[in-house]
Structure 1
Amino acid sequence: MTDALSHFSAKLAHETDPSDVYAAQKAGAAFVLVDMRSDDAWRQGRIPGAIHMHYSEIAQRAPREIDPATPVVVYCWSPGCNAGDKGAVEFAKLGYAVRLMIGGYEYWAREGQPLENDEGPLPRIFDPLTMYVRTDAD
């Protein structure tokens, strides 16, 4: 039991998920959400309130743009993308408290959380494979 408790406690200390990040945004929690994806991906769509900083730029940009006392949450495309992990490593090297948003942009979008691009808000789509979606019969 101790191994499982240690494992899952450590995991929760370093990971979060889209619904918890959205709830934290709505509650006004102090953190910076950082998108690790490419410029093209950022232009295609992003999470409102996020900043764009590819993991290769963190060492140079983060100390100038993000207060080291502010917690950071990073994300990339999906569970199949490790750019968020690479970004988390870079932030951790600089001493930031950092967490990875598991599921990335894909699960944020599939859960129907707000999205935007340069033209404005994008449609919200709720995927019943990732969450309970109410129907008119409910």
Structure 2
Amino acid sequence: MMSSVLQISPAAADAAIAHFAARLTFETDPSDVAADIGAGVSGWVLVDSRSQESWDQGHLPGAIHLPTREIAARAASVVPAGSAVVTYCWGPGCNGGTKAALEFAKLGYPVKEMIGGYEYWTREGLPVETLTGTTRQVTDPLVAPLGVACAC
């Protein structure tokens, strides 16, 4: 029986290294963002590109609210020039974080997108700021191990 997985051969090691290293220059994930926030690591700015209503529903601690449609006009006034930027939107079914990252790149900012967005941040049980304070959802065991860090 022919393998569906191996119907197209895997890339050679050097091509795989180049591909996966390149992906990591464009992306980060909720676990890494949370680790930096928790450790007080500076040097980058977290940007929520969703609507005001979405922001009010909940957002990541320390994020700046800058909807994608406002980035070109307002980025320079809220994100210091040259700062590395991490963008996020709703989740994997939404390309708003990608669109926001593109807008920052057009302005010359070094930028990464947080894959998984707000959805996976909350599914991992990470803290969310709301109009009434900080809250956490119960960790979804399909997304993150219960009670421990992924450590991947």
TM-score by length of 2: 0.85
Encode CA deviations 1:81-135: one digit per residue, 9 max, x unaligned.
Answer: 000000000000111110000000000001111001111112331110111114x
The alignment's C-alpha RMSD in Å is: 1.0
One-letter amino acid matched to 1:18:
P
Give, in angstroms, the shift of residue 29 of structure 1. Answer: 1.8
The aligned residue for residue 16 of structure 1 is 28
Whole-Å Cα distance in 2 between the matches of residues 64 and 29 of structure 1? 22
Correspondence for 2:46 among 26, 33, 49? 33
**Map 1:96-107 → 2, pairs under 5 A:** 96-107=109-120
Matches of 2:95 and 2:70, distance apart in 1: 16
Higher RCO, Cα 8 Å, sep 6+: 1
Deviations 1:52-100 (A, max 9, x none): 1011111111111111221110000000000000000000011111000
In structure 2, what residue type is equivalent to 1:66?
A: V
Match of 2:80 in 1: 67
The AA in structure 2 aligned to 1:50 is: A
Alpha-carbon distance in structure 2 between the residues aligned to 1:123 and 1:43: 15
8 Å CA contact retained: 2:126, 2:136: no
Moved over 4 A (4+): none
What is the aligned residue count?
134
Match of 1:125 in 2: 138
- Whether 2:56 is the aligned partner of 1:43: answer yes
SS for the counterpart of 1:105 is helix
Percent identity, aligned pairs only, is 53
Q: Could you tell me how far apart the structure 2 residues matched to 1:28 and 1:71 are?
A: 15
Of the structure 1 ranges 22-31 and 85-94, higher mean CA displacement relative to structure 2 is found in 22-31
Which consecutive unaligned segments of at least 5 residues does structure 1 have? none
SS of 1:47's partner is coil
Partners of 1:28 and 1:6 in 2: how far apart? Answer: 31
Unpaired stretches in structure 2, ≥5 consecutive residues: 1-12, 148-152
Which of these two proteins has the greater Rg computed from alpha carbons? 2
